[in-house]
Each structure stands twice: as structure tokens, then as C-alpha cells.
Amino acid sequence: MPTTLILACGALAREVLALIELNGWQHMELRCLPAELHLHPERIPDAVEAAVRAARGAYSRIFVAYADCGTGGRLADRCKTLGVEMIAGPHCYSFFEGNEAFAARGEVTSFYLTDFLARQFDAFVWKPMGLDNHPELRDLYFGNYEKLVYLAQTEDAGLTKAAREAAERLGLEFERRFTGYGDLQAAIRAYKV
């Protein structure tokens, strides 16, 4: 029976499951909150708290597989109050590339995709921003960006093609960087002890 719960963002489900299988972490179980919470990051701390409180009696340890994700530090404060650890970093783009490497790049004119976002570009970028009905808003939203950086967790030609097509739709240069699981793997591995 699993003794550790990984409470993750739904956008990380495939990656966390792959890490659990790859490392043989049979004592870990994954539960995900909806990835759509990223459309309203102010809701993430309350959703995480409710999930942690609901799972408390069933697990000896709970790890929160979220970075700050636009909560302005509120998620870290909530996790501290709840006595649970979380992934360090401002967002998944940072921890996939590695927080230190990401910070050193200082890329302020890049728009990022992960495997999840390459797969779900229409559902999480194009439609929520209204670009499906108002493509003329593209330059308003993305006019200050220069390139789309696809941080690839896997070697998948189909996802690379989808990310390249997203860059074209946004009128941005394209760059692909293979990151693998980056700091996500290190954070879970460090916590599993």
C-alpha cells in the first residue's frame, strides 16, 4: 500500500507517473488537481489545501508537485502552514529546465511550452485567450515575445511538430530544448527517502 502521496498539477501527471514507474517507487501514489487551475492561479492554494486535508489520514507523507505557478508565494505559505513540501521554483518551465539554468538565461521575450502544453495548446492557450474567435488579438498578446521555446520532456516527433506549429500560429521563432524531467525528478527523488 502506498505511504506517500504525490499531489500534482494535472499538467504533470504523465511525467510523475513515468518517474514513479522508472524508479520503481511503489510506495508512492499520484493524485492530480485539474490543470485548468492554471487559468486561475489564485485558486491553486485553496485547492491544494483541500486535497492535502482530505488525504492526511491515508498517507504518512504528502509531497506537492507544484511550483509557485503564479500564486505570488501564497502556495508556498500554505504548504508551510500545512507542513508539506513542494517543488522549488516559479513554475514548471523553470524546474523542467532546472531552476538555476532557467534563471541564468533571463529570457523575458520567450513563451514556453512543455510536452503537456504542446499536446494541449488549443485547450490551454488558443481557446482560453479567445484566439479561436479573435485571431487578431495574437499580436496584442504575443507581440513582445520573440520566440517560443519548447522544453521537451520526451523525445516525441509529434509533440515537436505540434510545438513548431504553435510557434508558427503565434508568429514566433521556434526553439526546442530537451530537458527531460529536470528538477521534478530530483525533487521527488529527494523527498522519497
The confidence score (pLDDT) of residue 192 equals 60
pLDDT in tens, 101-155: 999 998 999 999 999 999 999 999 999 999 999 999 999 999 999 999 999 999 9
Q: Specify the pLDDT at position 193.
A: 45
What's the CATH class of domain 4-86? Answer: alpha beta
Backbone angles phi, psi at 148, to 5 degrees: -105, 125
Rounded to two decimals, the pTM is: 0.90
Calpha distance 55→51 (Å, rounded): 6
| Domain regions of the chain by residue span | 4-86, 95-178
pLDDT of residue 39: 87
Nearest 5°: the CA angle 39, 50, 183 is 60
State the Cα angle at 35 between 33 and 38, rounded to 5°: 110
Location of C-alpha cell 539554468 = 101
The pLDDT tens digits for 67-100 are 999 999 999 999 999 999 999 999 989 999 999 9
User: Which candidate, 124, 151, 129, places its Cα nearest to that of 11?
Assistant: 124
110 neighbors 147 (Cβ within 8 angstroms): yes
CA pair distance 14, 155, nearest whole angstrom: 14
Q: Which amino acid belongs to residue 32?
A: C
CA distances from 75 to 14, 61, 81, 171 (A): 22, 18, 10, 34
pLDDT tens for residues 3-61? 999 999 999 999 999 999 999 999 999 999 999 998 899 999 999 999 999 999 999 99
Cell of 90: 516559479
Place of cell 503537456: 116
Return the SS3 of 120: coil
Q: What is the pLDDT of residue 1?
A: 62
pLDDT above 90: residue 182: yes
Q: Confidence band (pLDDT; 50, 70, 90) for 190?
A: confident
Task: Express each pLDDT in 31-42 by its tens digit.
Answer: 999 999 988 999
